[in-house]
Amino acid sequence: MASTLLELSNLISSSIATVDARCKALSRTYPDLDNPANAPEDENVVHDAEIAEAASIAIAAASQLIANLNSPARTMLETSLMCLVSAALGVVSASATAEIVREAGPQGAHINDIAKKNGMDPMKIARVLRPLATQHIFREVAPDVFAHNRISTTLDTGKSPEDILAAPENKHQNEQGYAAIIELNTDETFKAGAYIRDVVFSSRRNNTEEQHDELDTPLNRAFSTHTNLFSWYEQPENRVRFRRFGMAMDAARRVNPPDTRSQRYPWATLPEGTIVADIGAGIGSVSMVVAKANPKVKILIQDKAAVIEEAKEFWEKELPGSSADGRVTFQEHDFFGPQPAKEADIFLLCRICHDWSDSYVLRILKHLRQAAKPTARLLIQERIIPFVCGEDNSLHHVPGAMLSTTPPKPLLANGGRIVSYLIDMQMMALLSGSERTLPHYWKLAKAAGWEIERVYREGADPMNQMVLRPV
């Protein structure tokens, strides 16, 4: 065991040395955790490829070292209580505490002064801020006085606390969106998550897809409703959540913009007149990237009627005249029904499959297969969940299926990255959907009459692409 500890320690040391050397080469300083206002040039170094890779290794090694050094009982106890850290984060974000602390300046805000502005009990403010400060989110700079650090500033919308508390539905409008993501995670996801156990245990009695009630999700139980997530958001009492969800999804798209999600597939090489049908496209932000990469292709946007109207406005604004000259057409369509676009050369499904259970995904894929001509291809863009133990070699014959690099030993084969698995559980909490492994997608594809012929995936990139051919 001592050898493992030293290996992990050496990985941390060598990775930090790489970060330091690269920062010096760039004449920059790595951002200071305690500084809520590092120079933008210093903040940008975290995106440098060499620094990001070294930091990723150091983080994974540090996490694994803690797991090795900590007592098992303590690890289990702390892990079981981490849900309360999420609860604390939710209170702080929803109460405009981040904005109040920002207005107080570098010296920080006393809990009594925070309470005067947001109406909370000052002692309860302290009780939710201290676990966060221990997690290095905020700083307690003096007894009962809290200030921002580099991490906690991401909760700050930049707006006044008075405006936020007076009109919470407008809190996330025209801001970076991180607070919207946090509040989504610490409100509906958090509350639904408490019912995952109940739903999973009840499903043991219903071990077939046909018996499963798609509307018996943890969210349905948490909020005593029997409708899907998207219809639930449209209910009048959820107007704040609905607007927040939209802002959270917009922020997520900006973290991983469409051009980075779509650039690996060789769109620019497609022949003139290629028809790309974007299924469940929303406003068509992904296929817009395709259209700009290859002006000679034709785009078909499919979605519900209300969304189609928004899509028309989006395309006219971003690519004026594209509808008039036939580069883009719009079609109202429910992807659970028969697919009318039988001349499409490429069907595009971007972030659709993860919203639905296997039985519903099969329905979508089978309708596409029935419509597909022999030369058509289906491009699925989704998060491919890695196995913690490493790659499944059963698909080694599929180009791109295997990751080209693996983390150095003794790190976990997945690099210690947990976010993909937590998002998978979020899909379990909010919907009947899931993120899936590549073998899982392979089986679904085969059952629907498709075969994966090429995969575009790279390391920790959350958006992967699978090219399927009809069989």
Q: What residues are annotated to the active site?
A: 354
Q: Report the distance separating Cα 146 and Cα 100, nearest Å.
A: 10
Q: Counting every residue, how long is the chain?
A: 471
Do 407 and 60 contact (CB within 8 A), yes or no? yes
Q: Report the distance separating Cα 61 and Cα 34, nearest Å.
A: 23
Structure tokens at 434: 């899931």
Structure tokens at 300: 């078909």
Q: Beta strand pairing status for 346-350 and 450-456?
A: unpaired
Structure tokens at 277: 């049908």
340 Cβ neighbours under 8 A, 6+ residues apart = 331, 333, 371
Please choose, from the candidates 293, 453, 299, the residue with its C-alpha nearest in 3D space to the C-alpha of residue 380: 453
Burial of 125 (0-12, 13-18, 19+ CB in 10 A): buried
Q: Report the distance separating Cα 426 and Cα 430, nearest Å.
A: 6
Do 379 and 346 contact (CB within 8 A), yes or no? yes
